[in-house]
């Protein structure tokens, strides 16, 4: 005799909210669950009850705990950060499932960090300044470099861009900002920032290049200075409100390539006119500052060393070159412990481990909050000691 299928009573609005929160449609849901589109539609209209088995599969697909489907109404969530991407108006706000999950994960980790900090009576110290769009980005950049206590020689002495990213990230985290890194479609989003929620957050795209993530780190830091949460692809456009992206890009470049140090760079002294600067020289200058060639040339354009037309022409040439040389990169394995620290950052991981040692949370909580298996915990602790 076949086993009876258990149907479950759920609030239809919760089903709709859960689906829309990951940016998918009923056709994809129907395909995932191997049911008809009509069946999914009737679930969401309250005309039919889903089975417990179907509900469990929905929980896996939507990346939600099963318990959320038994709520009487959709939970209230903080608003999504403003979309500053350069897209047609009708396209702005449309995000892939991966990016939506990145936003949700960042919100969850932010909320956990606030709760865990309170649970151990630790005072939250956030040492970031403020800026206005009427401020000169060059002046703000000088001030913030001083806040970060970063001498230019130390930056020039770093071995490579990866070391630069790690060092810059530590400096930003020391200000009380949580920095996470999640894999998202690069063509859709380079990063985002969250100002509300108790702790400021910056999220970088793990699929982006290291140099790009360094620039994004400071682009999003500028958003925090302005008090504007944002989803960014770092492109500028005249339709963007009040030139926010232009300010953030200008600030990021000025922090990473300070005006006085660029103007006195030894390679620029031997070139006149600058419009004849070869890629080889640009590459050497960019390597010394641990940024991309485009960042250096944009700084030269802002400082009126080259014309805007020249900058745009070279920029388009680089875009074509990148497209021609683009190859399908295969994913590589990252040890779970290293991946945990890479994605969630040292401050958050250390906070989780400290609250566990104090008996505030359980091992199950640690596994849940860090998205790891218990067997990887010792390795994570070893890596943290190595970072100290």
Answer yes or no: is pLDDT of 14 > 60.
yes
Return the residue matching tokens 């959320």. 68
**What sign does the CA torsion over 331, 335, 336, 340 have?**
negative
| Within-domain flag for 316 | no
Helices (H) and strands (E) in the chain, counts: 19, 5
| Within-domain flag for 338 | yes
Q: What percent of the chain has a predicted confidence (pLDDT) above 90? A: 61
Answer yes or no: is pLDDT of 16 > 70.
yes
Tally of CB atoms within 10 A around 366: 18
Q: Residue 156's domain spans which residues?
A: 98-256
Bridge partner list, 194: 201
CB 37 within 8 Å of CB 30: yes
List the CATH number of the domain containing 66: 1.10.260.40
Query: Tokens standing for 355?
Result: 């609250």
Whether residue 192 sits in one domain with residue 62: no
State the pLDDT at residue 203: 96
CB 24 within 8 Å of CB 97: yes
Which pTM does this prediction carry? Answer: 0.84
Answer yes or no: is pLDDT of 141 > 70.
yes
State the pLDDT at residue 371: 92
Whether residue 140 sits in one domain with residue 248: yes
| Within-domain flag for 121 | yes
| Within-domain flag for 379 | yes
What mean pLDDT, rounded, does the chain reach?
87
Q: How many domains does the chain have?
A: 3
CA angle (244, 250, 254) in 5-degree steps: 145
Q: What is the pLDDT of residues 255-307, one digit of tens each?
A: 999 999 999 888 887 777 777 788 888 999 999 999 999 999 999 999 988 88
State the pLDDT at residue 234: 64
| Within-domain flag for 156 | yes
Answer yes or no: is pLDDT of 43 > 80.
yes
Whether residue 109 sits in one domain with residue 44: no
Answer yes or no: is pLDDT of 2 > 50.
no
State the pLDDT at residue 139: 97
Query: Tokens standing for 176?
Result: 């009380």
Q: Which of 99-108, 166-175, 204-213, 379-388 comes out lowest in average pLDDT? A: 379-388
Answer yes or no: is pLDDT of 373 > 60.
yes
Nearest to 248 by CA among 263, 233, 268, 270: 233
Whether residue 66 sits in one domain with residue 103: no
| Distance separating alpha carbons of residues 290 and 350, to the nearest angstrom | 28
Whether residue 251 sits in one domain with residue 104: yes
Exposure letters 320-348 (e unless 16+ CB within 10 A, then b): eeeeeeeeeeeeeeeeebebbbbbbbbbb
Type and span of the H or E element at 4: none
Out of 222, 256, 290, pick the residue that ends a domain.
Answer: 256
Out of 233, 256, 279, pick the residue that ends a domain.
Answer: 256
Q: What percent of the chain has a predicted confidence (pLDDT) above 70? A: 89
| Within-domain flag for 194 | yes
| Distance separating alpha carbons of residues 102 and 156, to the nearest angstrom | 33
| Distance separating alpha carbons of residues 39 and 213, to the nearest angstrom | 43
Q: Would you call the peptide bond into 273 cis, given omega within 30 degrees of 0 as the criterion?
A: yes
Give the DSSP letter of residue 219: H
Tell me the average pLDDT across 330-343: 84
Exposure letters 138-163 (e unless 16+ CB within 10 A, then b): bebbeebbeebebeeeebeebeebee
Answer yes or no: is pLDDT of 328 > 70.
no
Cα distances from 8 to residues 50, 51, 53, 293, in angstroms, run 6, 6, 9, 58
| Within-domain flag for 210 | yes
Q: In what order do the strands lie in the sheet with 230-232?
A: 82-83, 230-232, 191-194, 201-205, 178-182
Confidence of residue 24 (pLDDT cuts 50, 70, 90): confident
Answer yes or no: is pLDDT of 145 > 90.
yes
Higher per-residue pLDDT: 319 or 121: 121
| Within-domain flag for 7 | no
């Amino acid at each position: 005799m076949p086993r009876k299928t258990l149907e479950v009573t759920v609030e239809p609005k919760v089903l709709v909210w859960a689906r829309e929160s990951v940016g998918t449609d009923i056709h994809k849901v129907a395909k995932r669950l191997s049911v008809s589109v009509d069946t999914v539609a009737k679930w969401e209209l309250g005309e039919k009850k889903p089975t417990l088995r179907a509900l469990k599969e929905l929980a896996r697909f939507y990346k939600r705990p099963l318990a959320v489907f038994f709520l009487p109404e959709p939970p209230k969530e903080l608003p999504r950060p403003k979309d500053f991407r350069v897209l047609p108006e009708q396209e702005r706000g449309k995000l892939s499932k991966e990016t939506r999950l990145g936003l949700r994960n960042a919100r969850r980790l932010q909320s956990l960090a606030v709760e865990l900090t309170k649970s151990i009576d630790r005072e939250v110290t956030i040492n970031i300044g403020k800026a206005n769009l009427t401020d000169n980005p060059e002046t703000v950049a000088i001030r913030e470099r001083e806040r970060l206590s970063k001498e230019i020689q130390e930056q020039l002495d770093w071995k490579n861009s990866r070391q630069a990213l790690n060092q810059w990230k530590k400096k930003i985290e020391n200000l009380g900002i949580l920095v996470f890194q999640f894999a998202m479609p690069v063509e859709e989003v380079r990063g985002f920032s969250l100002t509300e929620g108790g702790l400021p957050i910056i999220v970088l795209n793990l699929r982006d290049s290291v140099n790009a993530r360094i620039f994004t780190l400071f682009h999003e830091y500028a958003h925090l200075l302005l008090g504007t949460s944002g989803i960014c692809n770092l492109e500028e456009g005249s339709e963007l409100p009040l030139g926010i992206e232009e300010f953030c890009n200008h600030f990021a470049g000025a922090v990473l390539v300070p005006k006085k140090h660029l103007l006195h760079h030894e390679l620029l002294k031997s070139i006149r006119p600058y419009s004849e600067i070869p890629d080889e020289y640009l590459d050497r200058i960019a390597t010394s500052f641990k940024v991309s060639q485009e960042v250096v040339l944009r700084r030269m354009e802002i400082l009126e060393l080259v014309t805007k037309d020249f900058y745009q022409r070279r920029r388009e040439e680089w875009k074509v070159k990148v497209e021609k040389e683009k190859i399908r990169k295969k994913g590589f394995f990252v040890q779970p412990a290293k991946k945990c620290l890479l994605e969630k950052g040292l401050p958050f991981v250390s906070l989780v481990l400290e609250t566990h040692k104090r008996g505030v949370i359980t091992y199950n909580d640690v596994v849940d909050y860090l998205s790891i298996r218990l067997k990887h915990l010792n390795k994570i602790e070893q890596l943290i000691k190595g970072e100290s």
